[in-house]
Amino acid sequence: MAENGDTAKDFIRAIIEQDLKSGKHKEIVTRFPPEPNGYLHIGHAKSICLNFGIAKDFSGRCHLRFDDTDPSKEETEYIESIKEDVSWLGFDWGKHLYYASDYFEKLYQYAVLLIKDGKAYVDSLSADEIREYRGTLTEPGKDSPHRNRQPEENLDLFQRMRDGEFDDGECVLRAKIDMASPNLNMRDPTLYRIRKLPHPRTDDRWCIYPMYDFAHCLSDAIEGITHSICTLEFEDHRPLYDWILDQLPVPCHPRQIEFARLNLSYTLMSKRKLKNLVDRGSVENWDDPRMPTISGLRRRGYTPEAIRYFCDRIGVAKTNSVVDIALLEHCIRDDLNKRAQRVMAVLKPLKIIIDNYPEDKVELLDAENNPEDPGMGMRKIPFSSVIYIERDDFSENPPPKFFRLAPGREIRLKHAYYIKCKGVEKDPKTGEAVCLYCTYDPETRGGWSADGRKVLGTSHWVSAAHALQAEVRLYNHLFTTPNPADEKDFNTVLNPGSLELFSSCLVEPSLKDAKPGNLYQFLRQGYFYTDQDTAKTGKLTFNRTATLRDTWAKIKKAEGQKNNKPRISS
RNA sequence: UGGGGGAUUGUGUAAUGGUAGCACGGCAGAUUCUGGAUCUGCUUGUGAGGGUUCGAAUCCUUCUCCCCCAGCCA
């Protein structure tokens, strides 16, 4: 799979290349800075691939740094999941694992420096008052009455904040910049707030915590980051990022560059909203296969290769955009087509009795494991007089273009024989077919006919006596609209059919040893991932990763739309 | 009504004054023991107006539309 092959250089790599060429930098250092307040999603994968990818492309390095400055939201569980997801994606931070909390003491000393320089002060206004004093988008703010406290007093107050003498919200440390700035971020932004809360890593050693704007730029500088890549909403923060670094004796001054975050159609890309889906039980958990989280995609059957391939192809730019989820699906199909073992599974079984096949005979037929890769070898599949095919592969009154089994018609059973439908037994109440009576042609063993006659279609099947029971979960888009985030309440556009459960499927016996994580292509149906529940419950359980492209489904859909067209009477 | 960004086909992304290309999707065909895969062809695009130039997606200008910012979140 060609990663970084023919894709053009993005604007960030162009900047970096220039910086290398001009001699501004000799080595490139980037970082991926997640806040451990939720699970990583495919949007983060874009950032991970960008930052680690750049480090790789330019023989530099990329740090994994947790931005853990808000103990009210952050948890160790998230730290662990993030590390797992980043390495599962195939990236290695080596010894460069850092935490903003590692720098709390340094950060504090930098703040002291700012205070001594008269560039920061302790404000005793309440949060509400600070908001009022900040002004609005169109009106300047006004100075806090505490703005002109002298450095000695500020130093004393700041030390006492650290010592725990004040309660949450009683005071904050603010940068002294410009209350009239048209950029609200520059109107004396808060640098430190009091949070008497234990921190996942520093426990109760601190009760004051630095804000993002203060911690992030300094952490970057401390680590020698050359290019600090973040998303568009931080563009307004860049003047503050630069201001702080300009005031302090830092080892270097990284360049912040912003790019557009990823949006994907038919899903959400916000940790807050995804957490909401988990909390209200709309999905099972963060790793529900319907979730766009890395862990959800993993459990859905996505491979790191496919995700990296996807991230490589969506590009990097500053335009807000929504990528068609069909591209993600294309990427996983492209990967799985080459590597997934083919196997036969019947989701909605329809019984077939082959009248002219000896009742007690069993043949072992040869089947290729992957036509795309002969190296994957062959396997044996048992055939006998009673089999099951897919209910959808039979129609008593076949519509046009239905190339499958019907009364009097002949089809091929994949890898087996040609069979012809001679009779239909129906449920007297519903009229639904419950059993078909067929004959087979012994001359077509393996699925070939010496006389060269064509057959309308090919069906997958399982032998009734040998099939294994399995549960199959078919996943569809989580939302019914392409842009659920645009909705006032995204819960109203949840797709009620995002999960279709089939608990009595029949699969071929070679699946007996399927292990969680194993990937298959169920012939003619799609790609499937062996779920961890297989190990827990002992029942074979498969998650559909993606459907195969399905021309027949498309035809049916088109017909349906044609028939549903309102009649216009003239 | 302040500030910061952005606009190329259905979607995403290239082209940095010189033939608007690629991918996905869609459509049509070939091929096929998966209605899969593969192959071929097609697929109404430079937000609008003015200007500079032999030549403009690209430079200048006016306008329009979209996104972000008033957390003691990141």
Beta strands in A16-127 (DSSP E): 29-32, 61-66, 97-99, 120-123
Taken in order A30, A36, A41, A43, is the CA torsion positive or negative? negative
Task: Tell me the Cα Rg of chain A.
Answer: 31
Q: Report the Cα–Cα distance between both ends of chain A, in Å, rounded.
A: 56
Q: Cβ(A258)–Cβ(A234) under 8 Å? A: yes
The whole-number pLDDT of residue A570 equals 31
The residue whose CA lies nearest the C1' of nucleotide B72 is: A193
Residue nearest to nucleotide B26 (CA to C1'): A554
- Residues of A with a known catalytic role: 35, 261, 271
pLDDT at A559: 82
| Through-space separation of residue A322 CA and nucleotide B49 C1' in angstroms | 29
Strand, coil or helix: what is A245? helix
Nearest nucleotide to A70 by CA–C1' distance? B73
Give the DSSP per-residue string, A247-302: HS--S--PEEEEEPPP-BTTS---HHHHHHHHHTTSSSSTT-TTS-BHHHHHHHT-
According to the model, what pLDDT value does residue A8 have?
Answer: 64
**Residue A66, CA distances (Å) to A102, A251, A436 in order:** 10, 20, 61
Q: From the CA of A69 to the C1' of B3: give the distance in Å.
A: 27
C1'-nearest nucleotide to the CA of A398:
B35
Number of H helices, E strands in chain A: 14, 25
What is residue A448's three-state secondary structure? coil
pLDDT of residue A566: 45
Minimum-distance nucleotide, CA of A193 to C1': B72
**Closest residue to B16 by CA to C1' distance?**
A11
What's the CA A22/C1' B54 distance, rounded, in angstroms? Answer: 36
Adjacent-strand bridge partners of A438: A354, A421
Q: CA A314 – C1' B24 distance (Å)?
A: 10
Closest protein residue to B10 using CA and C1' atoms?
A: A324
- Tokens representing A224 are 């020698």
Please report, rounded to whole angstroms, the spatial distance between the CA atom of protein residue A306 and the C1' atom of nucleotide B28.
Answer: 30
Contact predicate A529/A516, CB 8 Å: no
Contact (Cβ atoms closer than 8 angstroms) between residue A383 and residue A354:
no
What's the whole-model pTM score? 0.96
* Beta-ladder partners of A390: A349
User: What's the one-letter identity of residue A215?
Assistant: A
Report CA(A15)–C1'(B16) in Å, whole number: 13
ipTM higher than threshold 0.85: yes
- Output the pLDDT for position A510: 98
Closest-lying nucleotide for A125 based on CA to C1': B72
- Using the CA of A416, give the nucleotide whose C1' is nearest: B33
Contacts of A220 (CB under 8 A, 6+ apart): A31, A228, A254
Asked if A141 and A133 count as a contact pair (C-beta separation under 8 A), the reply is yes
pLDDT value of position A341 = 98
Between CA A459 and C1' B62 the distance (Å) reads 65
Q: What is the spatial distance between Cα A136 and Cα A187, in angstroms, rounded to a whole number?
A: 11
Q: Per-residue confidence of chain A (570 residues) as pLDDT tens digits?
A: 333 334 568 999 999 999 999 999 999 999 999 999 999 999 999 999 999 999 999 999 999 999 999 999 999 999 999 999 999 999 999 999 999 999 999 999 999 999 999 999 999 999 999 999 999 999 999 999 999 999 999 999 999 999 999 999 999 999 999 999 999 999 999 999 999 999 999 999 999 999 999 999 999 999 999 999 999 999 999 999 999 999 999 999 999 999 999 999 999 999 999 999 999 999 999 999 999 999 999 999 999 999 999 999 999 999 999 999 999 999 999 999 999 999 999 999 999 999 999 999 999 999 999 999 999 999 999 999 999 999 999 999 999 999 999 999 999 999 999 999 999 999 999 999 999 999 999 999 999 998 989 999 999 999 999 999 999 999 999 999 999 999 999 999 999 999 999 999 999 999 999 999 999 999 999 999 999 999 999 999 999 999 999 999 999 988 877 666 443 333
pLDDT at A494: 97
Nearest to A531 by CA among A301, A347, A283, A278: A301
CA distance A10 to A12: 6
Q: Write down the pLDDT at residue A435.
A: 98
Q: For B6, which residue's CA is nearest its C1'?
A: A319
Chain B nucleotides reached by a protein CB under 7 Å: 1-8, 10-16, 21-27, 33-38, 66-74
Element (H, E) at A241: helix A238-247
HSE-CB at A205 with a 13 A cutoff on CA atoms is 10
Q: Which nt has its C1' nearest the CA of A316?
A: B13
Q: Do the beta carbons of residue A74 and residue A68 sit within 8 Å?
A: yes
Residue–nucleotide distance: A13 CA to B34 C1' (Å): 42
Q: Would you state the pLDDT for residue A564?
A: 61
